[in-house]
Structure 1
Amino acid sequence: MAHLNSSLLLFLSLNLLQLFHTAVGRGGQRDSGFVDKSYAASGRHLFEENHFQKLNNLAHGYMSNSDLEKAIKAFHGRCGRISKIYSIGKSVFGVPLWAIEISNKPGKEEAKPAFKFIGNVHGDEPVGRELLLRLANWLCDNYMKDPLVTLIVNNVHLHILPSMNPDGYSLRRRGNANNVDLNRDFPDQFFQMNDDLTVRQPETKAIMNWIKKIRFTASASLHGGALVANYPWDGTQDKSKSYYACPDDEAFKYMAKLYSGSHYNMSQSQEFKAGITNGAYWYPIYGGMQDWNYIYGGCFELTLEISDNKWPPANELPTIWQYNKQSMLDLVASLVKSGVHGRVYSSDCGEPLPASIAIKGINYTIKASERLADYHRLLAPGHQYEVTATMPGYKTRSTTIKMGEEAMTLDFILEPTSSFLPRQPCKRSSMKILEVISTPHFQVALTLFSVLAFLCFLIKRKIIFSHLRGRKYLGRRSSAV
C-alpha cells in the first residue's frame, strides 16, 4: 500500500510538473480570458507567496520601476536630438507609463509610418522592458553609423513603451495591481466582454487612448515563456483550438517569418513550424491586445514570445538581446522596406484627402491620415494586388500592382464627381504653406536671406552711426571756433 501511495504521488508530481511546463506561452497561463474560480483560495495564496519569493530573488540585476524611469530620462538626456519621452497614462498605483519616441524629427507629424513596441504586458515577464531600453540605446549609439539604424530613425516614428504593467512587475505577478490580466482586458470581437468602461483597467485605457492619438501602422508586444512569433486571430467564434485566419493572414505570416528568420534560433523551433503560429491554432484567448489593435486601431500587431524562460537570470539578458536584436530592427525597418505607401490628393486643387484604401479580395480597409493624407499598407511580397482609393464626393480610383521584395510608392489623384455640390475656389491651405516652409531647400534659402538681411542692417547701422558721429564732431568744432 505504501508503494502504491508513493507511485501515485510520483505520478501526480510528474503530471503537475508537466502542467506547469505546458502552461507557458503568451505570457504563461493558458487561460482564455474567461474567469475560472475552481481553485482553492488558500492554496493559491500559498503558491503566490512562494512564487513571489522566487521571482524576487530572480529580480536582482533587473531594473526596478524607479530605475527604469531614470534610465528612460537618462537616455533622453543623452539622445534628445532624436528622441522624445512622454507618459501615455498611469497604472493603478499611479506609476507613469513612460514611452520613448525615436525619430529624426520626434514629435512632428510627418508622412511616415509609425511603429510601437510594448514590453512587460504581464508583470512576471520582465525581459521585454530590459530589451526595449537596450534597443533605444542601440539606435542612439549607431545613428548615422549603421545604415539600418539610420534608415529606421530617418523614415519611421518608433515608439517604445518598456513597461505596460509596472505594478504587476513590482508585485512579481502576471496581472496588474487589481490582479487583472491586461492581455485579456480589451474588447473582444467574438464575445461581449470588457465593454464596460467603468471596470476597464487604467493601463488598458491608456493603450486604447494612445492608439487614438497616434496612427500606428504596426506594432509588437514582447512576452516570455515560449519562443515563437504569434499572429491573429487569437480566438475563434466557437472557442475551438483551430487555425483562424484574419483577412491579412499572408501579410501577418510574412511579418512573423521576418522576425523568426532574423532570430538566432526561433525559426528552428521543433514545436512551431518556422517559429511562427496563428494564435487560435496555438490556443485561443479572448480580450487580447493583438486582435484589438488590428480591428479597432488599424494596426498590424504581433505577439512575440522572446524567451523560453519567463524570468531568466539577469546574466542571460545580454545573450537574449543578441538573439533578438536583428529581429527587432528588421521588423521595424519592414515598414519602409516593404508594402505599399503613398498619399491621396484632389485633382482640382491638390488638397490632401483622407481617403480609404482597400485591397481587392482582402476584407480590411485602412484610412489615409486626416492632415497629410498619407497611407502605409503592409502586404506580403510576391503577389499581385488591386489597390482602390475611395473618398465621398470623388471618383473611385483603382490600380493593380505587383509587390516585389521592396516597398512601392503609389499616390492617388481623385477627381470630384459631377454630382458633387459646387466647391469653393481652391485656396492654398496653411498645411501646404507649412510643407513648403519645412522643406530643406526653403530653410537654407531662409537662413541665407536672414544672414544677408542682418549684414545689410549692420552696414546701414554703421553708416548712420558714422554720419551722426561726424555731425556731432562738426558741431563741436563749430562751437569751438
Structure 2
Amino acid sequence: MHLSLRALVAAALGASLVLSAPVTSSASHRPVSTNSPDRVVYEIATPGAEDRSAVAATGVDVLGAKDGTTTVVAERSQVKALEATGLELTPLGDADAQLAALGRVDFAPNGDATTLDFPSGYAGYHNFAEMTAELRQTVTDHPNLARLTSIGKSYQNRDLWMIKISNAPATDQAKPEVLFTCNQHAREHLTVEMCLRIVQRFTDGYATNAAVKNLVDTREIFVVPSVNPDGAEYDIATGSFRGWRKNVQPNSTATGTDPNRNWGYRWGCCGGSSSSGSSDTYRGTAAFSAPETARLRDHVNSRVVGGVQQITTHIDFHTYSELILWPFGYTYDDTATGLNADQANAFATLGRQMAGSNGYTPQQSSDLYITDGGINDWMWGVHKIWSYTFEMYPASGSGLNGFYPRDTVIAAQTARNDGAVDLLLTYSDCVPRIIGKTC
C-alpha cells in the first residue's frame, strides 16, 4: 500500500476512473486521458503558513501539508491560480489514475453503481449499513449503557446516527457532555472506524476496565460516527474509490458542499474557503446550507440547558497528516476576540498532552493554513466548547492514496488515540484545570 506516488501512478497508467459529481443514476463514466488528465496531483513548496494559505485560497483540494510541502489535487481550471502564487509546483501525475490503482474499477454498462461497498483489501471498513448495524448491536448488547438516536437526515435522507454512552443513557444527567464526530469529509473512512472504536471501548470495556467505567460513570459521551453518510456512500458506490470530499447536495454549478467550510462562525470571512461550486472547499450558499451541518448544529444548540452549554469538549476526526488542531482557523493570531491568553494556553497545553500520547503534531489550526467556516471555530466561538480536530494516520501520503490505508491498519491506528480520548474526557469537567486555572 505504501508505494511512492510515481510508482503508484506508473502502475495505474491507462486505468480509467472519473471523479464525477454525484448526479442521477444515468451518469456516464468516461475514461481519463493519461495525456491530458482532468485532475493532477501537485507537490508545492510551502515553507510558511502564509504560503499554504495562498495555495488553499485557490480552491484546490488540499490533501496534506507537512514538512514544508503541500500536496493538492488541482483541476485544469485551477492551475493558473496555483501558478500565480509564485510557489514551486511539481506535478506528480493523474489523480484519477491513483484512485484506480487502489481498487477494482467495477462499472455497470450504463455507469450505475453496482456494489456500494469497499474494494478488495478494504473489507474491514464499515459502509453505512454495516455501521448502522454495529450501532444497533451495541444498544442490544448494552441497553443500560447505550442509546441510539438520529439527529436528523442527510440530503439523501440517511439517518445521522448519534449514540449516547452513559451509566444512565435514557436520563439527562448533570455531568459534562463530550462529543465525538467523524466523517465530515466523505473519503475519510478511517474516521468512522475511530468513532466505532470509541463506542466499542466504552461499552464492551465497561464491565472489566476500571478506568473506562470511571469515565462512563462521570461523563455523558455522544458519538456521531458519520456526519456525511451520503458522501461516504458515493465515494465507494462503484466498488472503487472516487476521492470524494463533499456532501452530495447539488449547487448552482456542480455538486456538493464542504461540510467543514459550512459552519456559521466567521463563515466565508477570510479566504479560507471557496465560493466556487466546483471547488472541494466550496462553503455553500450560506452558513449551514448543508443539511448535515445544520442538523449537528441543532443538536449542539439543543444542549444549552438553563443558559449553560452542557457539551464541554469535542473532537472532530479527519484524515490525514497526524495532527492535533485547535481554534482559531480563520486568523493567524494566537488570541482574538473570544479567545484570551489563558484559553489559548489551555487549548495548546491539552493539545500537546494529547499529542504526547499518540505521536501527532499539535498546533493551532491556522498554523497549518487559514480556514473559515470550520467546526472547531464555531464550537468555540459560539458555545465555548473546547473543540479539537484530529488528523489521523498516515503522517504523509502520496496524494489521494493517503486517504485509503488498507484495513490492516484500522485496529492499531484507532487504538493509538485511546490515551488522547481519555485525556480529553478526564479534563472535560474543567479544561483550564490543565494550566492550574479554575472554571
Band the TM-score falls in, shorter-chain normalisation:
0.5 to 0.7
Of 131, 136, 142, 1:73 maps to 136
- Is 1:51 matched with 2:99? yes
Aligned to 1:326: 419
Alpha-carbon distance between aligned partners in 1 of 2:295 and 2:370, rounded to the nearest angstrom: 25
| CA 1:33–1:140: 2 relative to 1, 3 Å | farther
Alpha-carbon distance between aligned partners in 1 of 2:125 and 2:45, rounded to the nearest angstrom: 24
Alpha-carbon distance between aligned partners in 2 of 1:62 and 1:139, rounded to the nearest angstrom: 20
Q: Deviation digits for residues 26-68 of structure 1, max 9, x if unmatched?
A: xx9997578569843799xx84586377365364321111111
Listed as ranges, the gaps of 5+ residues in structure 2 are 1-36, 62-73, 80-93, 104-117, 236-243, 250-255, 270-274, 276-282, 304-309, 395-401
Aligned to 2:405: 312
Of 111, 120, 129, 2:192 maps to 129
| CA 1:29–1:131: 2 relative to 1, 3 Å | farther
Aligned to 1:288: 374
- Is 1:379 matched with 2:432? yes
Q: Quick check: 1:242–1:282 contact (8 Å CA) kept in 2? A: no
Q: How does 1:264-275 map to 2 (within 5 A)?
A: 265-266=359-360, 275=361
Q: Offset of 1:190 from its aligned partner?
A: 6.9
Q: Deviation digits for residues 290-336 of structure 1, max 9, x if unmatched?
A: 10011112311100112124221001111112312222222222214
Of 176, 180, 184, 2:247 maps to 176
Q: Offset of 1:86 from its aligned partner?
A: 0.4
Q: Quick check: 1:222–1:306 contact (8 Å CA) kept in 2? A: yes
What secondary structure, in the 3-state scheme, does the structure 1 residue paired with 2:148 have? strand
Q: Quick check: 1:119–1:129 contact (8 Å CA) kept in 2? A: yes
Aligned to 2:112: none
Aligned to 2:26: none
What letter matches 1:132 in structure 2? C
What secondary structure, in the 3-state scheme, does the structure 1 residue paired with 2:245 have? coil
Task: Identify the structure with bigger relative contact order (alpha carbons < 8 Å, sequence gap 6+).
Answer: 2
Of 43, 49, 58, 1:19 maps to 43
Q: Quick check: 2:350–2:434 contact (8 Å CA) kept in 1? A: no
Query: Deviation above 2 Å: which 4+ runs of structure 1?
Result: 28-43, 46-61, 188-199, 241-247, 380-385
Aligned to 2:297: 208
Q: Quick check: 1:306–1:324 contact (8 Å CA) kept in 2? A: no
| CA 1:257–1:154: 2 relative to 1, 3 Å | same
Q: Quick check: 1:32–1:286 contact (8 Å CA) kept in 2? A: no
What letter matches 2:99 in structure 1? H
48-57 or 227-236: bigger deviation? 48-57
What secondary structure, in the 3-state scheme, does the structure 2 residue paired with 1:381 have? helix
Q: Quick check: 1:115–1:158 contact (8 Å CA) kept in 2? A: yes
Of 256, 262, 270, 2:351 maps to 256
Q: Quick check: 2:345–2:435 contact (8 Å CA) kept in 1? A: no
| CA 1:33–1:288: 2 relative to 1, 3 Å | farther
Q: Quick check: 2:317–2:389 contact (8 Å CA) kept in 1? A: yes
Q: Offset of 1:253 from its aligned partner?
A: 1.1
Alignment size in residue pairs: 313
Q: Offset of 1:110 from its aligned partner?
A: 1.9
CA RMSD of aligned residues (A): 3.3
What secondary structure, in the 3-state scheme, does the structure 2 residue paired with 1:81 have? coil
What letter matches 1:122 in structure 2? H
Q: Deviation digits for residues 432-452 of structure 1, max 9, x if unmatched?
A: xxxxxxxxxxxxxxxxxxxxx
What is the percentage of aligned positions where both structures have the same residue?
20
Q: Offset of 1:124 from its aligned partner?
A: 0.7
Aligned to 2:181: 118
What letter matches 1:180 in structure 2? T
What letter matches 2:257 in structure 1? V
Listed as ranges, the gaps of 5+ residues in structure 1 are 1-12, 267-274, 340-377, 388-481
Q: Deviation digits for residues 369-420 of structure 1, max 9, x if unmatched?
A: xxxxxxxxx21434456x6xxxxxxxxxxxxxxxxxxxxxxxxxxxxxxxxx
Q: Quick check: 2:288–2:294 contact (8 Å CA) kept in 1? A: no
| CA 1:116–1:311: 2 relative to 1, 3 Å | same
Structure with the greater alpha carbon radius of gyration:
1
Q: Quick check: 2:41–2:95 contact (8 Å CA) kept in 1? A: no
State the TM-score, normalized to the length of structure 1.
0.59
Q: Deviation digits for residues 101-147 of structure 1, max 9, x if unmatched?
A: 00001132222100010011111111111121122112112214222
State the TM-score, normalized to the length of structure 2.
0.64
What letter matches 2:133 in structure 1? K
